[in-house]
Amino acid sequence: MQLVDPRPNRPMPIRITPLIDVVFILLVFFMLTTRLLPVDYLELGNDTRERRSTTGEPLPALQVTANGIIHWQDNRYSLDELLPALEAAGVHAANLTTTPNTSLADFTRTLSRLDGAGIKPHWQRNAPTGL
Which pLDDT score is estimated for 1?
59
Where are the strands (E) in 10-125, listed by range? 61-64, 70-72, 75-77, 93-98, 120-123
Task: Report helix, strand or coil for 111.
Answer: helix
Rounded Cα distance between 114 and 92, Å, is: 9
What pLDDT does residue 104 have?
Answer: 86
Determine whether domain 61-123 maps to CATH 3.30.300.30.
Answer: no
Res. 29 pLDDT band, cuts 50 70 90: very high
What is the pTM for the complete model shown?
0.53
